[in-house]
Structure 1
Amino acid sequence: MQQLGKLVAVETQMVMLTATLPPSEEDELFRRMHFERRQVRIFRAPTARSNIAYRVVRVEKERKRQEVEATVLAMVQQKVRKYKSGKIVVYGNSVPKVKGLAEKLKCHAYHHHAVGKASMLEEFMGGKQRVIVATSALGIGVDVPDIRCIVHIDWPFSVLDYAQESGRAGRDGERSEAIMMVQDGEQRAADDKQGEAEQRLVRAYVEGIDEAATWRGEV
């Protein structure tokens, strides 16, 4: 979005398309494009997809890191049993956390500096590995049709990241899940005001939708 303002110099009619821009980011888009809202006609489909169940799983704040990790492992293993042939992606924010969890799950750890990312993705897409643990490096542009469950073990960096990552699920139109695992009271650094705002938006994205229906027939 940072480069979009340069398009204003073209001085011609524009059609702008995006699959993930949430309503909360529209004003920022208009600001960067030097548009006023009255100048723009918007056609919007729901940001969340109706075949994905979004939910938050809260973990008690007092639980130790090892206990939280054990909860994640148990959940992933349960989803593997539930979805007989579907795939599961677990997202974490740090490479050490991703590597550690992947080792316990005996699957690939996919991140920006990982060696052999292409072969990892090939094995995952082909079903040789049904589970993969990844950072946001596995996000935009990845289209694996039968991902049945996305699990976030950290707050995503932004609403757009969450939309991209959770949107990897159910690309074939089948029912799928996007699960956010958070510890009660979990917050980012107190001086990260933008991060806190993004965190609230992600929570609203998940929990606000969650009130509508178990499966998202409407948003």
Structure 2
Amino acid sequence: MDIKRHLKSALKQLGFDKPRKAQIIPMKTLDAGQDAIVIAATSSGKQVIYETVGLAHSDRLTIVIEPLLALIYNQVQTLKAHDISAEYIDKDTTKEDTEKILKKARKGRLNFLYVTPERLQNSTFLSAMKQTDIFMVVVDECHCVTEWGQTFRDAYLHIGKFIDKLEHKPVICACSATIPADSMDIIRDNLHMDKPAVLRSDLRRDNLILLKKDVTCNKKTLEERLESRIKKLCKLIDKYHKDGSVLVFAQTTAYVDALYNILRERYTDEVTRYHSRVKPERHKKELLFDFLHGERKIMISTSAFSMGIDVSDIELVVHFNAPISMTDYIQQIGRAGRDGRKAHCVLFYDQNDDDDAVSDSFIKKTKKQSAKAAKTIKTKRKQVHDFIHSDNCMVSDILEYQGQNETKTCKRCTVCAKKRRNKK
């Protein structure tokens, strides 16, 4: 199946000779002006789909709505490296620079504009967008509409209202690797999509080796138990860290800072960190780019560094704490093996309830604002617990959560390996 010449030309400008098979139909659908929900595996190139189509219509603006600033910086940097007109507006963009960017958009000299959903509620931004010729609005990582919109980022629930206020309805593209089946209609309705094509491809990632490790420790104090867990983390890094990069996820900023301080003594000049409380913003960007450019090979982060980040050589992902949702887990392991090489993803869990104590605190704070949101988080945490203690193939359980029935086991995860040993 071929694509039109203007799409081929755009794809080449992005640095690709030809599209992957799973990218062709979504590209054609969006190019023809039809709304689309694109569900594809992490690292399958969803970003290339909307960038190619947006670039093929470079006389008009494409707005890309992202959940995380790290993701915005990463994508804009990549586009600019290919001489493509792309900008972002974040909370640290000065009023003067914001005006320049919006003027550029109104005059048709800007191809891509990256923002978070909160920006859409800004009256100055809305006024400028009403005067701009917009071809497409992309809601990247659209699972955030249900994952976050109903808990702590209600701006996700108002994207459709923003689109309705534009002078002309743009093409709407919503994409993610993690859209639970019961969320599809909610996402479509919230984004005010017009009979979108639902385009699903195989979500399986055969190059990822999934492992879960019980790090329960019988030491009396939390400090001793964490010390034991950190030793296990270092053993994993020593075992699997070769010439690629390592990504360690921790539940809280305090955990990230503690791990950073300890690991940088052992892995001198290799370690960096990323979370919302690193200040100033300029310094946080420097830490991020150190990792994106390969100057530092070990990143320790909260979920602020989880979706869509494209570092091709990540060979090890470790969850130092059990994540609070399956969506977080799937997105985070999706950072691994994006160059197609084998990568290991190790999930730590404990039966001391140390991780649950942290998430209980988060749920308690959430409950003060919204009992419904707290209940949603509890449900998601239970799904993670069920996954950790399941006797099924880890890959099969993940695919089932994503709505893809899979009878074929991976034969390599912790559960499959244990069953294989027991048969001998």
Per the normalisation by structure 1, the TM-score is 0.77
- Asked whether the equivalents of residues 51 and 215 of structure 1 are also in contact (C-alpha less than 8 Å), the reply is no
Does 2:245 correspond to 1:87? Answer: yes
Give the match for residue 410 of structure 2: 213
Which of these two proteins has the greater Rg computed from alpha carbons?
Answer: 2
The equivalent position to 2:215 in structure 1, one of 40, 50, 59, is: 59
Which amino acid letter does the alignment assign opposite residue 198 of structure 1? K
Deviation, 1:215, is: 4.2
Give the match for residue 19 of structure 1: 176
What SS does the aligned partner of 2:200 have? coil
Structure 2: 5+ residue runs without aligned partners? 1-144, 146-156, 265-270, 365-373, 397-408, 414-424
Q: Distance in 2 between matches of 1:69 and 1:48?
A: 35
Q: Distance in 2 between matches of 1:8 and 1:159?
A: 30
Give the match for residue 108 of structure 1: 272
Give the match for residue 317 of structure 2: 150
Higher mean C-alpha deviation, range 75-84 or range 157-166:
75-84
- Asked whether the equivalents of residues 20 and 47 of structure 1 are also in contact (C-alpha less than 8 Å), the reply is yes
Write out aligned runs for 1:194-213 (5 A): 194-203=376-385, 208-210=392-394, 212-213=409-410
Which amino acid letter does the alignment assign opposite residue 195 of structure 1? I
What SS does the aligned partner of 2:296 have? coil
Q: Distance in 1 between matches of 2:239 and 2:249?
A: 19
Deviation, 1:183, is: 0.7
Give the match for residue 34 of structure 2: none
Which amino acid letter does the alignment assign opposite residue 20 of structure 1? A
Q: Distance in 1 between matches of 2:158 and 2:387?
A: 26
Higher mean C-alpha deviation, range 181-190 or range 137-146:
181-190
Q: Larger helix proportion, structure 1 or 2?
A: 2
Q: Distance in 2 between matches of 1:76 and 1:33?
A: 44
Deviation, 1:126, is: 3.8
The equivalent position to 1:177 in structure 2, one of 344, 350, 356, is: 344
- Asked whether the equivalents of residues 218 and 225 of structure 2 are also in contact (C-alpha less than 8 Å), the reply is no
Q: Distance in 1 between matches of 2:305 and 2:344?
A: 17
Which amino acid letter does the alignment assign opposite residue 18 of structure 1? C
- Asked whether the equivalents of residues 89 and 151 of structure 1 are also in contact (C-alpha less than 8 Å), the reply is yes
Structure 1: 5+ residue runs without aligned partners? none
Which amino acid letter does the alignment assign opposite residue 86 of structure 1? G
Q: Distance in 2 between matches of 1:213 and 1:125?
A: 30
Which amino acid letter does the alignment assign opposite residue 213 of structure 1? C
Q: CA RMSD in A?
A: 3.3
Higher mean C-alpha deviation, range 89-98 or range 42-51:
42-51
In structure 2, the CA distance between the partners of 1:55 and 1:74, relative to structure 1 (3 Å rule), is closer
Which amino acid letter does the alignment assign opposite residue 351 of structure 2? D
In structure 2, the CA distance between the partners of 1:203 and 1:49, relative to structure 1 (3 Å rule), is farther
Q: Distance in 1 between matches of 2:182 and 2:333?
A: 23
Which amino acid letter does the alignment assign opposite residue 323 of structure 2? P
In structure 2, the CA distance between the partners of 1:62 and 1:74, relative to structure 1 (3 Å rule), is closer
Which structure's relative contact order is higher, taking Cα pairs within 8 Å and 6+ residues apart?
1
- Asked whether the equivalents of residues 52 and 215 of structure 1 are also in contact (C-alpha less than 8 Å), the reply is no
What SS does the aligned partner of 2:341 have? coil
Higher mean C-alpha deviation, range 81-90 or range 115-124:
115-124
Q: Distance in 2 between matches of 1:82 and 1:177?
A: 8
Deviations along 1:158-207, one digit per CA (max 9) or x if unpaired, are 33222221111111111112221111263343864322311232345565
Q: Distance in 1 between matches of 2:317 and 2:227?
A: 16
Deviations along 1:29-75, one digit per CA (max 9) or x if unpaired, are 3135349xxx8764433445221122221122644433333333433
Q: Distance in 1 between matches of 2:234 and 2:275?
A: 19
Per the normalisation by structure 2, the TM-score is 0.43
% identity of equivalent residues: 22
Aligned length: 211
Does 2:231 correspond to 1:49? Answer: no
Q: Distance in 2 between matches of 1:159 and 1:78?
A: 23
What SS does the aligned partner of 1:196 have? helix
